[in-house]
Structure 1
Amino acid sequence: MKKLTVGKMFRVLTALLLSSLLSIDAFAARFVVLAPDLTENMFAIGAGESVVGRVESADFPSEVTSIPVVGDFQSINAELILSLKPDYVLAWQGGNPERHLQYLEGLGLNVVRLSSQSILDLPEQLRLLGELSGQIEVANKRAVEFETELQGLSEGRKGRNLPIFYQIWHSPLMTINSSSWITEAITYCGGLNQFADRAEAVPQLTVESIIAANPKLIIAGSGADQSWVEFWKPWGMIDAVANNQLKIVEADYLHRLTMRTLLGMEQLCQTIDSAAEVYH
C-alpha cells in the first residue's frame, strides 16, 4: 500500500474541505419572508442572502429591494412563492392572514409563524431564525445585545407612569392597547398608555375621550404630517397641548420589532424624560 506524501495528503484534505463547503452551500435553506420586520431580522443575523422572496413593504436594509416581491399583507402570489422553492415561509403570527398561511401549507410549503406581541419575543425570534438559517452564533450575539440594552433603557425609568396618548392615526383618532409592544415600550420608558385597557387592539377614539384622559404627553409616529399638531391646538385644556408636549418618534423603529426597536425606544425614553421634567 502506497503511503501518502505530505503534499498529496494536503491536496486530498483540501479537496475534501471544498467538497464539504460546496455541499453546505448546495443545501442552504431558502426563505420567503412575509413581514418586513422578519426580513430585517434575517439580515441582522447575517442570513439576508438566504431570503429569496419578500413583501412589498420590506424596505430595510437597502439590499432587500433586489429581492422578488411575492405580495403584501392583503394578498400573496402563491405561484411565484412556489417557483422560488423556499424551504421555509416566515410569517408574522396574528399579522399575516391565517387563510393565506393555511393555503400555502396546503401547497406543501413549510410555514413558520413567529410571534411579535412582546418586546421580549425578539431575542427568541432571532435565536429561532439563527437555528433555521444556520447563523446560530450571530443570532445569539444579537439576541444578547438586545436583552442587555433593553435592560439598560428601563433602569431608573420604570414606574414613573407619565400619562401618554400614543396617536397612530389622526382621522379617525386611533391608538394601541396593551397587546402592542409599543405599550410595553412606553412602560419600559416610564410612561403610561392611558388606553392600554381598551378591548380593541387598535381603539378608535374621540377628542372628548382624550380631553377626559388629559394626557401629559401626546406622541405620534413619524408618518404623521404637520397638520396633526395643528389639529390639537384648539384643545388647550389638555395638559399636553397647554405645555407644548406634542412629539414625534420614528415610526419604523417602533412599529417594527427589530434590532432598530432599541433606537426607537431610546428616542421614546428621551421624549418621555423631557416631558417628565416639564411637570416637575
Structure 2
Amino acid sequence: MAASLLRHLTLALLPLAAAPALAAERCAMDDRGREVCLDAPASRIAALSPGATELVFAAGAGERVVAVVAHSDYPSEAAEVPSVGNHTRVDLEALLSLEPDLVIGWVTGNPVEQLERLERLGLPVFQIEPRRIEEIAGAIERLAHLAGSEAEGEAEAARFRQGMAELARRHAESAPVSVFYQVWDSPLMTINDEHWISEVVRLCGGVNVFAELDRLAPRIAEEAVLAADPEVILAGGMGEEKRDWLDHWTRYPELIAVDRDNLFFVPPSLIQRPTPRLLEGSRLMCDALEVARGRR
C-alpha cells in the first residue's frame, strides 16, 4: 500500500505548470458546496455508494466506472466492476490500485477521514447527497459534465423531471391521505419532511404524519405510530420482496391502515435511493395511495 500512496502523493505535489492545458477543464459544485475541477473529462471513476453508482450510469458514464462498493447492484453491469469494500469502510489500497481520476463520495455515508485522505493524495473527490427530487436530476447533470457525457446525462435528467412532473399533475387534486413511511424496523425509524421520500408522499397527495420531526430520519416509538393512526402504512423492508415489516403492524387491528388493509410494500431500491429509479417507486407509491382512497 505504501508504494501506491507514495505514487499518488507525488502526483499531488507536481507543479501546476505540469498540468494539462485548462482548455478542457470542467468544474462542478458538489453537495458540500465545494467546487471540484478536472483538467479533462473523468475516464476512471470510483463510486463509493450504490446510489452514486446508479447516478454515474444514469449520467451516461457507466463504462468509465472502475470501482464500486458492496450492494452496487444496479444496473446489472455494475456487478462486473471491482468492489473496494463497502460505503462505511473502503479498502484504500484496492481503490488506489485502480487509479481513479475522480471519486464520487457520499456526504454522510462514507467515512470523512477516508475521503479527506484521498483528497490529500491529490484525487478529486466529488461528494453527493441529493435530498430533493430536483437535486437527483441536478446530480445527474453535474456528473455528466465531469465525465463529458452531457448529452446522455441531460436526456436522462429531463426524462426523470418530466416523469415526476407528470405524476405531480395527475395527483394535484387528489384527496389527502395520512401516511406513515417506515424506513427501518429496529430501531423503528421514519422520515421527516426534508427527505425526498416525504416529497414523494406529498406529490402523491399524501400527508406524512411525522413530517414535523427534527431529524431527517428520526427514531420513533411504536406508540407514536399508534397515536398518529395513519390511513396508510408504507414500508420497504430488508429485501426487495420482503413484507415482514408490514406484517408486524397486523397485530394492531385498531389501526385504520390495518383495518382497511392499507399496508403497502415498495421495493427499497426504488424509493430509498436518490436515483432515477425513484420515478418507478413514486408511481408505485401513488398507486398505493389511490387504492387507499378507494377503500374509504
TM-score by length of 1: 0.85
> What does residue 95 of structure 1 align with?
109
> 5 Å matches for 1:211-222?
211-222=226-237
Deviation at 1:259, TM superposition (A): 1.6
Alpha-carbon separation, structure 2, partners of 1:104 and 1:197: 37
1:61-140 alignment to 2 at 5 Å? Answer: 61-140=75-154
3-state DSSP class of the match of 1:69? coil
| Distance in 2, Cα, partners of 1:219 & 1:66 | 33
Q: Spell out the pairing of 1:164-243 with structure 2 (5 A cutoff).
A: 164-223=179-238, 225-243=242-260
Identity level (%): 35
Could you give the per-residue CA deviations for residues 102-155 of structure 1, whole angstroms, max 9, x where no partner exists? 121112211011231111111111111111111111111111111111100011
SS in 2 for 1:174: coil
Measured in 2, the distance between the counterparts of 1:229 and 1:114 equals 31
Give TM-score scaled by structure 2 length. Answer: 0.81
Partner Cα distance (1:228, 1:136) in 2: 41
Name the structure 2 match of 1:265.
282
AA at the equivalent of 2:156: R
Indicate how the Cα distance of structure 1 residues 110 and 118 shifts in structure 2: closer, same or farther if over 3 A, else same: same
1:37 to 34, 44, 51: 51
The code of the aligned residue for 1:59 comes to D
Distance 1:148 1:72 in 2: 33
> Which sections of structure 2, spanning at least 5 residues, go unmatched?
1-39
Residues 136 and 229 (structure 1 numbering): CA distance in 2 closer, same or farther, change over 3 Å? closer
Aligned equivalents of 1:27, 1:169: Cα separation in 2 = 39
Could you say which structure has the larger radius of gyration? 1
The amino acid that maps onto 2:193 is: S
Q: What amino acid is the match of 1:168?
A: V
Assess if the C-alpha contact under 8 Å between 1:90 and 1:113 holds in 2.
yes
Q: Return the offset for 1:76.
A: 0.9
Counterpart of 1:5 in structure 2 is none
- Could you list the per-position Cα deviations for residues 60-109 of structure 1 after superposition, in whole angstroms to 9, with x for gaps in the alignment? 11111121111212101112222211111011223323222112111221
Stretch of structure 1 that moved more, 50-59 or 178-187: 178-187
Aligned residues: 254
Q: Secondary structure at the match of 2:157?
A: helix
The whole-number CA distance in structure 2 between the counterparts of 1:183 and 1:97 is: 26
Taking a change above 3 Å as real, the CA distance of residues 183 and 207 of structure 1, as seen in their structure-2 partners, is same
> 1:28 and 1:103, CA in 2 relative to 1: closer, same or farther beyond 3 A?
closer
For residues 62 and 156 of structure 1, the distance between their equivalents in structure 2, rounded to whole angstroms, comes to: 32
**Cα contact 1:29–1:132 (8 A) shared by 2:** no
2:148 & 2:197 partners in 1: Cα distance? 30
- Name the SS for the 1:124 alignment partner: helix
